[in-house]
A and B are shown apart, each in its own frame.
Chain A
Amino acid sequence: MDVKETSTNASPGVASSSLDEFIKANHKKKFQFGIIAALLCAIYWGVWYVPGYAVWEMPDFLPAVMDNMIDAGYGADVTYTMACILLCLVNAIIDTLILFIWNGALGKMGELKRTFVEFKAANIYFVYAGICGAGAVFGTYVAAQFLNPGFAAVAGVLYALVGTIMSVLYLHQKVTKRGYIAVVIMIVGAFVLFAGTIFGGGESANMALGVIGGAMCAICWGLEGTFAGKALDYCEPDCGIQLRFFWEMVLWFIVCGVLAITGVPIFSTIASVVTDPYILLVVILLGFSFAWCYVTWYKSFPFIGVARGQAIGSLYAACSIVFMVLFFGVDNAIGGHDMAHVLPTIGGLIICLFGSYLIATEDAEGLVSLKDDSVMGGE
C-alpha cells in the first residue's frame, strides 16, 4: 500500500505530510504489535518447559501411571508413549478451561459461539489446527524421550521452515528475502544452541520413534500455523485459539477413551491432578503458560504473517534454555557446565537474537497487507 495516495478528507489544519507520517506511524505500530505478540509467545513457550519438566517429577501422577501400566504388562516404550498421551489430554483440558475464562473476561463469548456454529466456514479450520497441534505436542514428548531434549527442541524450531513454505504456497503471504534469511539464521541458531545436548545426549532409547516424533513436531506445528493463519483471516484470534484447544481436547479424550476401553489403566492416577495441590499447581502453570503462548502466537499472525510469527516464536528455544537454567540449573538445562556445552549455548543465543533482529527491523510499509499482490486481483 502506497501511503502517498493520501487523503482528500484530511481534517482542516492537518498538512498532508503530517498525515502521511501519522499513517506510517500507525502501520509501524501495527507491525510492532505483531512483533511484541510473537516475542511474548516465545517467552511463554520457554516458560512452559519449566512446569512441563516438573510435571514428570511428581511421583503420584505420571510416574505412578507408568508403574501401573508396567504392572499391567506393557513395555517401557509403550508405557512412556501412553503417559505422553495422558499429559497431552491434561494439557488440552486445562488450556481449554483457562481460555474459556479468558474469552469470558474479554466479552467474546458471543463471537466464540458464532465462530463455533459456523462449522463449514470457520470452525473446520480449527479442527485441522487442533489435530495438527496435538500431533506436534505429542511429537515433542516422544522426540525428547527417545532421542534427547535438544533434538526435540531443534526439531520444534524446524516448524518455522515448514510454516514459511506453507504460508507462501498455501496462504500466498508475502515473505521478503530478509524474512527468508532470518528464518534460516534462527534455525541455524537453534542447532548451535542445542549442539551440546544433541551430540552429548547419550544413546537413543528408540531411534526410529524419536525421529518420527521429531518429524511430527516440525511438520504438525508448521501445518497448524498454516491452518490457523487461514482461519484467522475470518475469525478472532482469541476465539480461534479456544476452539483449537477444544478440538485437541476432544481428540485426546477419544484416544484415551479407546485406550481405557481396551484395558490400559491410563486414567488410574488422574484424580491426583485435583487432589494433590502440588500437581494441581504445576498443571495450572502448564495451562497458563501454554494458553498464553498460543494466544500471543495466534495474535501475531494477522499482523506480521505466519512466517514471521513462527520465526520469532522459535526464539522459544532460547527462552527455554534461559528459564531451565534459572529453575533447574545449568547441568539440567544444557547437559553440562563445561565450555563444550556453554559456548554453543551462548553462540546459539546470539545467532537467534540476530535472526529476530532482522525480522523486527523489516520495513512495515510493505506489510500493511500480508497477502502477495498476485492473489489480491486488480492491483
Chain B
Amino acid sequence: MIVGAPLKFRILEVIEKKPMWNYEIVDILKDEYHLNSAIGRDNINYDCIEAVSAGFCKEIDWAIDTDGSKFDSKHPGRLLTKYELTPYGKKTLDELKAKVRHYTPE
C-alpha cells in the first residue's frame, strides 16, 4: 500500500483490485486523507475525473443518485460513475510504486 503520497496515487491503487464507484472511492479515502467535508468529497471526485482525462482509468458504468443517499444528500440527482483502471493506468501505478517513499506490498 502507498502511504503519504498525493491523493491521485491512492485513487489508482484503490481501483487496481476491482472497479469501483466514485462514492466507494470517497468512502475509502476520506478518512485516510482527512477529507470528511463536502469540499473534501468533491476534491476526491474531481481527482477521479482528472484520472480519466489522464487515461489512467475509464468510466464503465453510470447511475443517478436520485435520493442523494450515495454521494451528496444535500444535492440529490448527481451522476455516479464507476471507474476501472486501464492497462496504461496499471503501468503508471507500477512505476509510481517504485518511486514513492513508502510502499508496502499487500
Q: Which residues of A contact B (CB under 8 A)?
A: 1, 3, 5-14, 19, 22-23, 26, 30, 106-108, 110-111, 114-115, 117-118, 120-122, 172, 232-236, 239, 302-303, 305, 368-371, 375-379
Contacts and interface: CB of A to CB of B under 8 A. Distances in A.
8 contacts: A11-B63, A14-B63, A19-B64, A106-B39, A107-B37, A234-B6, A305-B53, A370-B53
B53 to A, nearest CB: 5
Contacts of B99: 118, 120-121
B9 interface: yes
Contact of B33 (A22, A110, A172, A368): A110
Given A234-B6, A376-B87, 18 more contacts: A7-B61, A7-B63, A9-B62, A10-B64, A19-B62, A107-B39, A111-B33, A114-B6, A120-B100, A121-B99, A234-B8, A234-B96, A369-B54, A369-B58, A370-B55, A371-B88, A375-B88, A377-B86
B55 to A, nearest CB: 3
Contact of B59 (A120, A232, A368): A368
Nearest to A12: B66
Contacts of A375: 55, 88
A118 B6 contact: yes
Contact of B54 (A11, A108, A115, A371): A371
B6 A368 contact: no
A378 B63 CA distance: 25
Contacts of B58: 1, 369, 376
A115 B100 CA distance: 10
B75 to A, nearest CB: 14
A233 B61 contact: no
Interface string B26-68: 0000000110010110010001011111111011111111100
B70 to A, nearest CB: 10
A5 B60 contact: yes
B7 interface: yes
A376 B88 contact: yes
A126 to B, nearest CB: 12
Contacts of B61: 7-9
A111 B7 contact: yes
Q: Which of A6, A8, A12, A236 has the most chain B CB atoms closer than 10 A to its own CB?
A: A236
